[in-house]
Amino acid sequence: MWLFTKYGFFSAVQNMDNPGLTHVRARFKGDLERLISYAYGHRELRSVLSPKKPVVRFTPRNDYAWRADFVKQDFAAVVAAIALEIDYKNFKNAAHCGTSRDSAYMRVWGVMSAAQHQSLNSAAAASQPSLFGSSGNARAPRRRRRP
């Protein structure tokens, strides 16, 4: 699962060595550090999270350079808390931090916006009557035989 939050961008997947853990990956070390600080600094979360904080590991040979493993229920609680605290009308403005990440987020937004428009255009075209009938089969119309 990809998560774009005010705290950073994360890719969360199953830890294949331990089914009780969610493997959270990031492109930037600071994103994971902010997420962990948020989780363990949050008064309500602190009381339900495991006492052992996730450790940020550097994995430069992997797709995502930074990783941390969260107890699955802990990660779910953190994501839920972030969702419950949404207080902005526009995510792009809330996530703006004046770094190169801003342009990366905007490029992702642009690509997804373009995909949406392409999908809407394709759906609109598909809903138009076809020259070849409703089945969409591209057969030439039959000629009438002369008597």
Amino acid identity, residue 10? F
pLDDT at 146: 58
**Of all helices (H) and strands (E), which one includes residue 97?**
none
Q: Is residue 66 part of a domain?
A: yes
DSSP string, 109-142: HHHHHHHHHHHHHHHHHHTSPPTT-TT---PPPP
| Domain range for 23 | 2-112
What does the pLDDT look like over 71-99, one tens digit per residue? 999 999 999 999 999 999 988 888 877 77
Contact criterion met (CB below 8 Å) for 11 and 21 = no
pLDDT at 128: 67
Q: Is residue 144 part of a domain?
A: no
- Rounding to the nearest 10 degrees, give the CA dihedral for residues 83, 85, 90, 91: -50
Average pLDDT in the 107-127 region?
Answer: 85
Residue 42 DSSP code: -
Domains: count for the chain: 1
pLDDT class for 119, splitting at 50, 70, 90?
confident
Q: Is residue 47 part of a domain?
A: yes
